[in-house]
Amino acid sequence: MKKKIAIIGDGRFGQVLFKLLKDDFFASIFNSETSKTENDLNKIYENEVIFFAVPISAFESVIKKHKKYFKDNHLLIDVLSVKMHPKKIFKKYLKGFKTQALLTHPMFGPDSSKTGFNDLPLIMDQFKADDNNYDFWKNFFVKKGLKVIQMSAQKHDQLAANSQGVTHFIGRMLGELKFAPTPIDSIGTRKLLEVMEQTCNDTWQLFNDLQNFNPYTRSMRIKLGRAYDLLNRKKIIFGIQGGKGSFNEEAIMFHIKKNKIKKFQIKYLYTSEKVLKNLHEGNIDFGLFAIQNAVGGVVEESTHAMAKYKFKIVEEFQILISHFLMKRKDMDINSIKTIMAHSQNFRQCKNNLAKKFVNLKQLSGQGDLLDTARCAEALVTGKLDKNTAILGPKILAEIYNLEIIAENLQDSQNNLTSFFLVSR
């Protein structure tokens, strides 16, 4: 006997599914929005097999509402374009049920199946279906000419993010660009026009659901953005928390040399917040900032900035930090009244400063002057009181022609600082 099949969802793909099934089964198609009365739902669940061709974002509400109609002899089959989401929803609402569930994704639509189903791909995950049901539907799909691919829900979503997800994203971008045919179109241009037309024929809801319900599409979009940024420039741009001569510059050069990066540019952004803001805006490819020191502890400036932005940690590494006290060469050491540096520098040299320079006021700047290297620059350009000394990397003395007053003021000789290299 022919199986009795119900399709919930009479949209564009629901109609395609009905076309695939109608000659082999007693198939009925129902509108998921209007089929809400108990009579309608009883009629749907008189069928043995129920296909769910509803929007991804509506799937949970449909399953939740229909749950009380599920029977032991039912087989529920979803045809959503994501697979981990329906798997999670089925697990949630079928707990304690003997009702079976099969995960599928027909990788075609109204446009691609216009001339038939031969060689079109269809993904299957057996999930909560027994061998008889699984084999029956696999053999049926093969008989209809479909190319059946057995795959886990997780693997499907990983691959789909970088195939279907990319295609829909680029197609919609071309649509927003108002990409249009011209008299001089190449074959490649005509193929792009086809991609735009095909993806833009689908609903905005499908596009948004593909981007939001597949956990792997976010990383895909980040990679696309990074690829776009790299195409617009010939070199990798690093944005760092410090200025020229800072410990941050020392850290990024450590990373660059270790990874043998040949073409790069360093943007001196002075603060962790500016690093993450520029990363968020796409002005840099990677950001670098200090997060913790073995003596001074957490870098509070960085923790406050990290709370405001989303980012991905690419690498965490450490470098050894040594602190030097330096002044302008035209100033007598006895005239020095203030030491200026990042608050972390003072923490790392607390005991030595208390022993050797107890009479000098310790001051940390605001804005860009949070950065010690920026302070050194301000000192030599007259933007800071000339009676100020700088506590920071030895290289600053060379860059800004300063005189070193004291060296290795860090309280620990194992004064390691950890840095985050981050991306979008």
Determine the number of helices (DSSP H) and then strands (DSSP E) in the chain.
17, 18
Residue 232: per-residue pLDDT? 67
> Can you tell me the distance from the alpha carbon of 414 to that of 393, in angstroms, rounded to the nearest whole number?
16
Q: Give burial (CB, 10 Å; 0-12/13-18/19+) of 56.
A: buried
Cα(358)–Cα(351) distance, rounded to whole angstroms?
A: 10
Helices 187-201 and 164-176, interaxial angle, to 10°? 100
Please give the pLDDT value at position 401: 95
How far apart (Å, rounded) are the C-alpha atoms in residues 102 and 151?
12
**Residues 383-401 pLDDT 10s:** 999 999 999 999 999 999 9
pLDDT at 222: 83
Give the pLDDT confidence score for residue 61 in this predicted structure.
95
pLDDT the model gives residue 32: 81
| Two tokens, residue 18 | 């009905």
Q: Please spell the DSSP secondary structure of 65-116, one letter per residue.
A: HHGGG--TT-EEEE--S-SHHHHHHHHHHSTT---EEEEEEE---TTTTTT-
**CATH 3.40.50.720 placement within the chain:** 4-151
Q: Collect the ranges in the chain with pLDDT lower than 70.
A: 229-230, 232-234
Q: Contact 202/109 with Cβ under 8 angstroms? A: yes
Cβ-count burial of 262 within 10 angstroms (0-12 exposed, 13-18 middle, 19+ buried)? exposed
Cα distance between residue 334 and residue 391, in whole Å: 17
**pLDDT at residue number 352:** 96
Determine the pLDDT at residue 81: 95
Which CATH number is correct for 4-151, 3.30.930.10, 3.40.50.720, 3.30.56.10, 3.30.470.10? 3.40.50.720
Q: Which residue has the tokens 């809801």?
A: 205
Pairing mode, if any, of strands 236-240 and 75-78? unpaired
CATH 3.40.190.10 residue spans of the chain = 234-424
HSE value, Cβ hemisphere, 13 Å, CA-based, for 285: 19
Q: What pLDDT score does 233 carry?
A: 62
Packing angle between helix 164-176 and helix 204-213, nearest 10 degrees?
A: 130
- pLDDT tens digits for 222-248? 888 777 766 766 688 999 999 999 999
Question: Which residues contact residue 422 at a Cβ distance below 8 angstroms, ignoring those fewer than 6 apart?
Answer: 275, 276, 279, 286, 287, 288, 289, 311, 312, 313, 314
Q: Which amino acid is at 47?
A: N
Token output for 375: 């302070």
Taking domain 234-424, whether its CATH number is 3.90.105.10 is answered by no
pLDDT for position 116: 92
